[in-house]
Amino acid sequence: MTDIDDLLRRVLAKAAATGERLPPPATAEEVARAERLLGFGLPPVLVRLYREVANGGFGPDYQLFPLVGAGRTVVTVYHAERRLTESGGEPHWPEEVLPILDWGCGMYAAVDCRSPEGTVLVFEPNGIEGGWHRAWYVDSGSMTGWLERWLAGTGWYEEDADEDSEMRPWRTARQRLSESE
């Protein structure tokens, strides 16, 4: 089991070592506001990440969205994706799946907020056939595992990633998307 306090200290150290100025951490009021705007709670590890490290601006490659603030935030991107899902056609973005990072080319890292451990998913819509459920993959069974891989430099997005970093399809994607219909 990962010691969350130690993990967050290591994440903060790596984030600070980039040389870029980190935004201040989100306040308790900002977290509560984000949860109200989203209509659901965030997994405890994600809350601590935003409260104790920074309000976005760190993490793998393109870095985490801010929780709140100006521009693209987890709140604004979630609502934009949900509006597209709710506007007709086949749903592509499940409820309570929070985009936290834009990988580019339409891909996102997202956290399943129904999962207490914060399962980290990847939405990869490019070249899918047979339904949007095929665009969803499990990157890590937990937010802590995802952060550990980032710290170790072993995520799938790393140039030297090994075959153990292969993502598997998110088995409950079809069910979760059907709830959005």
Q: Token digits for 46? A: 């994600």
**Residue 57 domain boundaries:** 4-157+166-178
- What are 54-67's pLDDT values in tens digits? 999 999 988 999 99
Q: Are 56 and 67 in contact (CB under 8 A)?
A: yes
pLDDT of residue 125: 92
- The CATH number of the domain holding residue 58 is 3.40.1580.10
Distance CA 132, CA 114 (A): 20
pLDDT value for 163: 60
So what's the pLDDT on residue 61? 84
Total domain count, the chain: 1
Task: Determine the pLDDT at residue 91.
Answer: 87
- Predicted local distance difference test score (pLDDT) of residue 53: 96
Distances (CA, A) of 155 to 54, 77, 145, 181: 21, 23, 10, 33
C-alpha–C-alpha distance, residues 91 and 36, integer Å: 23
- pLDDT at site 165: 59
Q: Read off the pTM.
A: 0.93
Mean pLDDT by 10 residues, the chain (181 residues): 88 90 96 98 97 95 92 96 80 95 95 96 90 94 96 87 74 91 63
Q: Got the DSSP string for 98-165?
A: EEEEEEETTEEEEEETTSTT--EEEE--TT--S-GGGGEEEEESSHHHHHHHHHHT-STTSTT--GGG
- Give pLDDT, residue 164: 59
- Predicted pLDDT at 162: 63
Q: Do residues 100 and 140 touch, judged by C-beta distance below 8 A? A: no
